[in-house]
Structure formats: C-alpha cells, structure tokens
Amino acid sequence: MNPVRPHSPAARALVLVAGLAAAWLPVRGQAPVPASVPGTFAQNPIVYFVMTDRFYDGDPSNDHSYGRQREKDPKDDVGTFHGGDLKGLTLKLKEGWFRKLGVNALWITAPYEQIHGWVVGGREEFRHYAYHGYYALDYTVLDKNMGTPEDLRELVDTAHSQGIRILFDVVMNHPGYLDLQTAHDLHVNVLWPGWEKATIKNYHSFIDYNSDAWADWWGRDWVRAGLPGYIDGGRNDLTMQIAFLPDFRTESSKLVKLPKFLHDKPDTKAVDLPDTTVRGYLIKWLTDWVREYGIDGFRCDTVKHVEPEAWAALKDQATKALAEFKAKNPSRKVDDAPFWMVGEYWGAGPEKHKMTRYGFDAMINFEFQGDADEFAKPEKLFSQYARIQAGKPVHMLNYLSSHDTSLFDRTKLIEGGAALLLAPGGVQIFYGDETARPAGYKPRTDPQQATRSDMNWANPDEKVLAFWRKLGTFRERHCALAVGEHKQISEKPYAFSRVDGATGDRVVVALDATGPVTLPVAGVFLEGETLEDAYTGRTTVVAGGKVTVQAGGVVLLERVKTGAH
C-alpha cells in the first residue's frame, strides 16, 4: 500500500475518520464517552426537604429549650417540638442516607430562633409551637432546640464534603406571634397574672390586647399587626396579615432602628444599622448565615406576599455573601456555582414563573402532586413537562408530598416515586416519602399537621426505599432526565429516551417491564455499545439498533461506567 502524504486532503480525511472512530468505538475496559453526566446543580437539582424537628434527635439535651414541653396524647402532641435537630441531620449524613438517595441538596426548616412558647392551634385543638420554623423571633441566632453554631458548621461541612448543598427555609413576609412565654422572657409587659396556667380555651384572656406595652415588641415601623399603635393589615397580597401573623413592612422606605425587644435581648447578634430599612435588616440577617456558614441557597416562603424587588435584593446580597465565603474558605465549598434560590408561590404550576425575573432560579410546582396521581398515562405527563421545561437551567421543582398540602397516597409510592424521579424539571423529595412514613394525627381544623409526623426509622418500607434509592441515584447521574429532549420509543412496554445534546448525556427508561424485554435504542446508543440496566445491574449490548434485557419491573439503561466490566 502506498503511504499517504501527511498533509494531503486524503490524509486529513483519514485523520478525521480515525478521530471519530476513536471517539465512538468501544475500548476494552472503558466506555468510549462519559457513562453519565450529573450536570450542574442548576441543571439537575434533587432537593430533600426535611422538617428538622421531626427527623432525627441527635442531641436529647436540647429537647426542652426555653421550657418547651411535649404532650402525652398524640392529638395534643401534634404541634410540639419532637426533638429533631441539626446534629441528627449530620448523623444521617455520615450514615450516607442522603447520598444513597442521589440527593444533592438538603432543604432544612429555618433554624434561627423561633418564638419560645405556644399559641392556640387550629380552632382550639392543640398547642402550636414553632417547630416548623415559620414563627421567627430572632433571625441572628440559632434556636436552641436546633443546636449550636458548632452543630450548624459541622452539618454544612459534612454535607459539602459529600457534594450536598444546604438550603435554608427563609421568611421575609412575617415574624412569629407574640406568645405568652416569649412575652415573659422578653419583658413585653402585656400579660395578666396567672398566664402560666393558661389553657387552649382561655389563652387569650391572659393577654392585654389594649396595652401600650405592645410598642416594646416589633413596633409600628416594622410590622402591621392591628394592635394598639400599629398599622392594620391591608387587603392585598403584599400588605395582608396571613393567619393574623404580623406583616413585615418590607416595602417601606423609612429608616428604622432595632425594635426595643431585640435591642434589649442579651444574646442577639442584631445591632442598629445606619440608614437601613426593614427590608435591609432582614436581608442582612439572612445573608449573614450565608457569609458565615456557606449556606448554598434559600427556599423562600410566601413569595407572593412580599414585593418582588425585595426578593431580587435578597438574591443579589446572598450571591455576594456566598462568593465571599467561598473566597475565604476554598476547601469548604461544594463548587463555584452561585447562590441558588427557589420560591413558594402558592398555586404556581410547572410553567416558567414571572418571579424568575426577580432572583428566583426555580419555583415550586404545586400541580405536580395531582399530575403524578394520574401516572397511568406517563407519556402525557413526561412529554408535557419536557415541553414546558425545554432548556436550562431547571425552572420548576416538583414534589409528591408537602407540609402545606398533603401526603401522597402511601400505597402508591412506587408509582409516584417513578413519576417524580423520572419527570423533567427538578425534584423535591419530602422526608419520609422514600420510607412510606405514615401520616400523624390529623386535627380537624388544621389537617396539614398530619403531614409532619416523625420519621419512621423503626419501620421503613424497605421495598419503597430500595426503589427510591435506585431511581434517585440513577437520576443524580443523568442531567438528561431533568433537561434532556424526551422521546417515546416504545408503547408496550412504555419506554422513552432522554438526551441532552449539550453534554451528550443520554438514557433509556422502560416502565412496567418484566421478564425478557427488547427495546429499540438506535439513535440513542451506538451499535455494539455495552449498556447497563441500573435497576438490575445486568449488562447488554446494542445489536441491530436494539437491546434485550431481563427486566425487573423498571429498566434504567445507561452506558457502562468507565472501568466496569
């Protein structure tokens, strides 16, 4: 054979062809291209929402901080603090609980200090404490039930070492009520004698609602409260008092000083700031957690009840704070990705939301819970969500269960888990969906309390857990599931492909598939390519544009990992 001159057109053509062959033809012992592409966090968020108090008690010594007590009867105990804390989360991180689910972000309930005591829950049904983190008292210090600064630092560092981000639940719309115990502890003199013996039925009779001492609480410049000397709540989304909670005046341009109770509070980190508004204080307090501990993102509560400009300002300052933390602590960060923010805008669906123009990377999708219940027609769900999500980054965060709505049918968590973990968009796992955590006691006038039961560590549903772990870790390896182009490739069994053209990540998934199953994969995988079914661990080779697998109910096809087989 005559040698081809190195710089001739024929030589260049041979080099090009050889290069393509090297890129695509299998090399023994390794995959020709990356077996999986997790993508950036913004392209493939898998967020585990944990109600810290109801998850795991890592430090029983802090269970009764501020004099908080539990109740003997479950119907009375539904609204108390149950003992879960930051140290408990760290212990479960170290056990690998979250990594085994493919989780890459942990959303925790607000850990900063809450009101100390209880208020009347439901319609005089139970004592309602701030175990959920939505009754803030002091944004600058940790609630003692949650733990210590050292506990928080260890939690964040442990999560970061596993590639898991920490997201705080934050509220800018309202602080908590002034309960009897907090009024006593902070010397806000609005209590009548004998308040310590108050019951659910006579609670309000021990509070002087006409007292001028209410001014020693947040004060009229800080909140709308409908109390002596305060402005009443308004009639629109931005100024109304939700559930009679005091409404922060974040829209006000008036410069303010610290409220008297906070100024006098001995353990607060809050200080008077020059030329600062209510919004400015809240943003400073919230972003200080980012600056000090490296918090990676916020889940923002009651988004529709705060003016968009406030959220945009929060995102801007939080982004700067996280960059500052990473510059000072390069060994403690996950990566160099910017601060991430997701919002709870009640009723929002999967479509890209208007609030993404005001700092939000994604919004919680309230429609998915109902959509997943119709999983008998998965193609309708997946193709619809693929069209809506189209492109990057992820702009919707889907969930099956929620603390604000209901728990998904506990007998359908295999089907529901498949819908959630295979759908385009982002994933929000509610703690205990992976173990079939049963609902707790359901108060007649506040049924959402039932969604917040204690994690069922003693009796998890092992079948459900194994299923969620397989699908969760598969999803974590493949950004194509979140943002890839979706295509149905088989009707019986139902199968689809997802391909992300930018990264080359690609998967084929089949549902309701058992026994020997043949699937068409031409155009997704190459002829002769070795694939693995991540559900069973079995391998197969593409022949004639098809693969045959011994299916175990679900098929999760991906390229064989580098160095495997």
Q: Could you give all domains of the chain from N- to C-terminal order, each with its CATH number?
A: 45-175+256-477 (3.20.20.80), 181-248 (no CATH), 485-565 (2.60.40.1180)
Nearest to 144 by CA among 111, 180, 117: 111
| Average pLDDT estimate for 390-400 | 96
Phi, psi of 132, rounded to the nearest 5 degrees:
-85, -10
Return the half-sphere exposure (C-beta side, CA atoms, 13 A cut-off) of residue 55: 28
Q: What pLDDT was estimated at residue 35?
A: 87
Task: Out of 77, 138, 169, 301, pick the active-site residue.
Answer: 301
Task: Out of 63, 344, 415, 558, pick the active-site residue.
Answer: 344
341, β-bridge pairs? 298
Distance CA 39, CA 337 (A): 12
Write down the mean pLDDT value for the chain.
Answer: 93
Under the banding of pLDDT at 50, 70 and 90, the label for residue 374 is confident
548, β-bridge pairs? 518
Distance CA 233, CA 174 (A): 12
DSSP 3-state assignment of 213? helix
Q: What pLDDT was estimated at residue 563?
A: 47
Do residues 505 and 484 touch, judged by C-beta distance below 8 A? Answer: yes
344 counts as catalytic: yes
Nearest to 343 by CA among 329, 327, 354: 354
Distance CA 556, CA 19 (A): 30
Distance CA 541, CA 543 (A): 6
DSSP 3-state assignment of 254? coil
Q: Above 60 in pLDDT, residue 86?
A: yes
pLDDT in tens, 19-74: 333 333 333 333 446 789 999 999 999 999 999 999 999 999 999 999 999 999 99
pLDDT in tens, 488-498: 999 999 999 99
Under the banding of pLDDT at 50, 70 and 90, the label for residue 562 is low
Q: What pLDDT was estimated at residue 295?
A: 98
Q: Could you list the beta-strand ranges (E) of 104-196.
A: 105-108, 112-114, 119-121, 126-128, 136-142, 165-170
Residue type, 410: R
301 counts as catalytic: yes
pLDDT in tens, 404-441: 999 999 999 999 999 999 999 999 999 999 999 999 99
Q: What pLDDT was estimated at residue 33?
A: 64
Cα 108 → chain centroid: 7
Do residues 101 and 42 touch, judged by C-beta distance below 8 A? Answer: no
Q: Who contacts 332 (Cβ-Cβ below 8 Å, separation ≥6)?
A: 156, 157, 160, 294, 325
